[in-house]
Amino acid sequence: MLTILGLSKFYWVAVICTAATLTLKFNSMKIYNLITGMVLLLLASKVQAQKNLVTNGGFEDEMYGWNDGGVKLTPWDVKTGKNSCAIISTNAANWLGIDQQVVIPKKAGKLEVSAWLKTINVVKGKDEWNGAVFSVEFLDKADKKVGEGVNIVTLTGDHPWELALKEVLIPAGAVRFRLLLAMGNATGTFLIDEVAVKAIMSDVVTKN
C-alpha cells in the first residue's frame, strides 16, 4: 500500500475531508450568525419605531393608566376599538380633562405626539387659549416643569374625527413628559381616541 511520510493515503484523504467539512461548518455558522444578527437588528428597529409609550391610548381598558379629571367613556362614537374618551363640559369656568406621565426613553431627541380627536359644539371661554386642548409638557428629576408646555392643537366648534400630530423636541434636563387632554374653560364635547407617543432617537434627530 502507498504511503506518504509513512502514513496511508487513506489517512490523508480522511484528514482533508475532515478539514473541508469543518471549514464548511465554520463558514455556514458565520453566515448564519450574520443573517440572524441582521434580522434581530431589523426587528429591534421596527419595534422601536412602532412602540407607543402611552399606556391604554385607545381606552380599551377603561381609564387604566390615566389620571381621570371628570371624564366619561363612550362606546357610541369611537375612531377604533370599543371605547373613546368623552370630556363633556357645560360650564366654561371649569377645567375638565385627563393626563398621563411617561418616562422618556434614553437617547430620545424628539417625541412624535398624536391622537384622533373630535369636537361637538365646543365654545371657548374668554381667553384665546380656551377650548378642547391637547398638549404636552416636560418634567425634570425633581418633578418640576422644564420649559414651556407645547400645544399640539386647540379646537373649537365642530370637527369630525381627525388626526392631530406634531413632532416635539425634548428639552435638556427632561426625564418625563405629561400628556394633557382637556376641555380648558370651554363648553361642549371633546372626544379622544388612539393617543400615541413615539420616541425619535437622537441619532436620527437634527436639532435646530
| String of DSSP letters for 26-67 | HHHHHHHHHHHHHHHHHHHHHHHHH---STTTT-TTTTTTSE
Span 21-56, pLDDT tens digits: 655 555 655 555 555 555 445 444 444 556 999 999
* Contacting residues for 52 by C-beta, under 8 A, at least 6 apart: 196, 197, 198
Q: What is the pTM of this model?
A: 0.74
What is the rounded CA–CA span in Å between residue 145 and residue 121? 32
- For residue 70, name the pLDDT band (cuts at 50, 70, 90): confident
- For residue 71, name the pLDDT band (cuts at 50, 70, 90): very high
From first CA to last CA, the distance across the chain in angstroms is: 82
| 51 and 45 Cβ atoms separated by less than 8 Å | no
In the chain, the percentage of residues whose pLDDT exceeds 90 is 67
- Give the type of residue at 161: W
Pairing, β 95-103 against β 84-89: unpaired
Q: In this structure, what DSSP letter does residue 81 have? A: S
What superfamily in CATH does domain 52-204 come from?
Galactose-binding domain-like (2.60.120.260)
Q: In this structure, what DSSP letter does residue 16 have? A: H
| 188 and 132 Cβ atoms separated by less than 8 Å | yes
How far does CA 116 lie from the centroid of its chain? Answer: 14
